[in-house]
């Protein structure tokens, strides 16, 4: 009843604009934590005294970019080498996201896609398909190992008899 009166009188707060992708376009992000929606602004999370001084804020941004870049490069190096490459890359993106809106948007998009993929993986049909494909793959590997052992035998890399 009050909402109708507010809408007639023009006192109602305007709704936040929403893009075609369903994202809010007013510079805010919605996060749901334990059933409570939190709204967080996009942009710099630098302390207030750093934001107050333009040269200090610019040097802060350069420092955050350099540290984030070093972490992302380390993650890219870890992709072919041993190490948690993707985890380190996302860590570098999180460092960038403390200061840059574009990194916050990329992380939000990535988080949404990972959540969607996790939900799809929990679908019973997809789980059944993955279990069947894994079982077939293990059977093929076991057959190939059996053929190799039958053809060449088991040769230990160390000398047992000496």
96-145 pLDDT, tens digit per residue, is 988 888 888 988 898 899 899 888 888 888 889 989 999 999 999 999 99
Which burial class, exposed, middle or buried, applies to 51 when counting CB atoms under 10 A from its CB (0-12, 13-18, 19+)? middle
Q: Is residue 77 part of a domain?
A: no
Q: Are 107 and 94 in contact (CB under 8 A)?
A: yes
Task: Return the number of other C-beta atoms located less than 10 Å from residue 108's C-beta.
Answer: 16
- Binned at pLDDT 50, 70 and 90, residue 7 comes out as very low
Give residue 2's domain range.
1-41
**Cα 68-71-96 angle, rounded to 5 deg:** 20
> Measuring CA to CA, how many Å separate 9 from each of 1, 4, 5, 12?
12, 9, 6, 8
23-79 pLDDT, tens digit per residue, is 444 455 455 555 555 656 777 777 777 777 888 888 888 999 999 999 999 999 999
Q: Are 65 and 96 in contact (CB under 8 A)?
A: yes
Q: Is residue 71 part of a domain?
A: no
Q: Are 6 and 12 in contact (CB under 8 A)?
A: yes
Q: Is residue 20 part of a domain?
A: yes
The number of distinct structural domains making up the chain is 1
Q: Is residue 12 part of a domain?
A: yes
């Amino acid at each position: 009843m009050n909402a109708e009166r507010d809408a007639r009188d023009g006192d109602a707060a305007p709704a936040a604009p929403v893009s075609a992708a369903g994202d809010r376009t007013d510079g805010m992000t919605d996060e749901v934590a334990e059933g409570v929606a939190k709204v967080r602004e996009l942009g710099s999370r630098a302390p207030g005294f750093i934001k107050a001084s333009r040269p200090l804020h610019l040097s802060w941004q350069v420092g955050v970019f350099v540290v984030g870049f070093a972490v992302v490069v380390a993650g890219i190096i870890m992709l072919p080498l041993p190490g948690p490459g993707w985890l380190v890359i996302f860590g570098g993106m999180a460092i960038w996201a403390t200061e840059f809106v574009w990194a916050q948007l990329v992380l939000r998009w990535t988080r949404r896609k990972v959540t969607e993929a996790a939900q799809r993986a929990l679908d019973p049909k997809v789980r059944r398909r993955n279990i069947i494909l894994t079982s077939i793959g293990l059977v093929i590997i076991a057959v190939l190992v059996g053929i190799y052992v039958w053809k060449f035998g088991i040769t230990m890399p160390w000398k047992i008899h000496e």
